[in-house]
Structure 1
Amino acid sequence: MMLVCAAIVLSLAHLFCAMPLHCELLRPQIPDNATASKLVGKWFYIAGASQFPLHLLEMVLIDNGYLHVNPTGHEQELLITQHVTVGGKCLSSNLTYLEVSINNATLIKYAKNEHIVGKLMNSSSEDIFLIQYQMHQEKNYTGLYLYARNQSVTEAQMEEFRDHANCLGLCEEEIIYAPWQKKELCQMTETKQMTPQAQRFQLQSYNSSEPSTAGHLQQRPT
């Protein structure tokens, strides 16, 4: 019952948020030849914001998490493996990849009943990783995630994230911060690199055979 009430409150939160008249900082990052190599490695999950109530509820349950970005056989594609600790369990997903070109960096996530497209957003530091996404499920929902090279970020970096969220019409009630109060259960292991063709085949196979969770990570226990 409490979760149902929370979902109703969160679903109404965006109605009380006023979007700024202009947001000059809110623009996608324009990658260069070095962008892909700079993104490779481990990124700690710091905070997320979303208009989609179920994503907000899932973020509340996350104790800690990280992304591991790996190169693939294609120089313009990076495989993103997500790991989170929830309720004493490690949950992982590798249904996401990032296409990096000179013009833009686009995040694609395939999941049954969901097709989420995101953009790598401009930021003031190479130590933070801002992803804005759009999800369509009956209507369009916007979200924003902040990852960083370290488990903690500066106040200026956190304020930058909040500014981006505000520009997207996401208010403080729609921002969830990772507590990082529990032990990180998901230990990073070596990931076998895959060609983009093999990765897409795996994603398509998963979509046709596995049930979907209506959420932010589409997680599977490891």
Structure 2
Amino acid sequence: MLASLALLVGLPLALAAEHPSCAPLVPVTFDNTTIPGLLGKWVYITGGSTYPPHVEEMKVVKYAAFSFFPGSHEDELNVTESMRVNETCVVRNTSKIQIFWHNSTLMHVDDQVVSTAELIQSDKDLLILKHFNANYLGLSLSARTPNVSKEHLEEFNAHLRCLGFTEEEVFFTSEKDACPLPGEKTGEDDEEQQLG
């Protein structure tokens, strides 16, 4: 089953050379304010991938949202995910993110697949992650709300182009396909949700 966190942290892409005119992606160096700033709800907006299995997964995810909560120790975050896969809402409360302070990376393990990401410097209400796994790279954008400014979206798209992504390798979600996170009220029948 696809998890929105796989979209967030596990979307490896083929490594592409950056164009000389492209601004470099600057990773965040973790400090005592970084992780608290990640806590709370995020809505997955878009991401790019050339890795075929993840491209297929991204094609069927119509909407994804997730929340980060403190884990049992400072090196861990708990994650609640809610997504619409085709026409079905799926909720998962079992994901964890490992925090590696020494090299400022995040790691997610899902079904024996390990995915690592760097947090990229951006607006505090945006979550841009550069995903890497073996020789593959990816880039994803999430935000505190489903609406991202035109300027922020254009800047993110420029980063995707600089990494060599084509339109066919970039996928967007839509707020019209939203599924609630656990505890949120909606007009939809709760029987549609499945726990993962």
TM-score range, shorter chain: 0.7 to 0.9
Aligned residues: 173
- What is the aligned partner in structure 2 of residue 197 from structure 1? none
SS in 2 for 1:57: helix
Higher deviation after alignment, 18-27 or 70-79: 18-27
SS in 2 for 1:82: strand
The 3 A distance-change label for structure 1 pair 158 and 104 is: farther
% same residue: 31
The 3 A distance-change label for structure 1 pair 18 and 116 is: closer
2: CA distance, partners of 1:73 / 1:100? 15
CA contact (8 A) 1:30 1:105 kept: yes
- What is the aligned partner in structure 2 of residue 130 from structure 1? 128
Give deviations 1:102-126, integer Å, cap 9, x for gaps. x553221213452211111111x10
- What is the aligned partner in structure 2 of residue 34 from structure 1? 33
- What is the aligned partner in structure 1 of residue 191 from structure 2? none
1: CA distance, partners of 2:75 / 2:63? 29
RMSD (CA atoms): 2.7
Q: Which runs of 5+ in 2 are unaligned?
A: 1-13, 185-193
The 3 A distance-change label for structure 1 pair 28 and 174 is: same
- What is the aligned partner in structure 1 of residue 68 from structure 2? 69
Q: Which runs of 5+ in 1 are unaligned?
A: 1-13, 191-220
Give deviations 1:160-183, integer Å, cap 9, x for gaps. 21122233332332111112222x
2: CA distance, partners of 1:96 / 1:56? 23
Give deviations 1:135-185, integer Å, cap 9, x for gaps. 34xxx3221111000111001111221122233332332111112222x33
SS in 2 for 1:181: helix
Cα shift at 1:74 = 1.6
- Select 1:148's aligned residue among 116, 120, 143: 143
2: CA distance, partners of 1:189 / 1:105? 32
- What is the aligned partner in structure 2 of residue 115 from structure 1? 114
Tell me which amino acid in the other structure corresponds to 1:26: L
Larger radius of gyration: 1
SS in 1 for 2:114: strand
The 3 A distance-change label for structure 1 pair 143 and 151 is: same
CA contact (8 A) 1:28 1:104 kept: no
Cα shift at 1:100 = 5.8
CA contact (8 A) 1:49 1:175 kept: yes
Tell me which amino acid in the other structure corresponds to 1:163: A
1: CA distance, partners of 2:126 / 2:63? 16
1:154-193 map, 5 Å? 154-182=149-177, 184-189=178-183
Give deviations 1:29-80, integer Å, cap 9, x for gaps. 1233211111100000100111112212222211211111011122243223
Cα shift at 1:187 = 2.6
1:21-100 map, 5 Å? 21=20, 23-93=22-92, 94-99=94-99
Tell me which amino acid in the other structure corresponds to 2:95: L
CA contact (8 A) 1:29 1:104 kept: no
CA contact (8 A) 1:80 1:98 kept: no
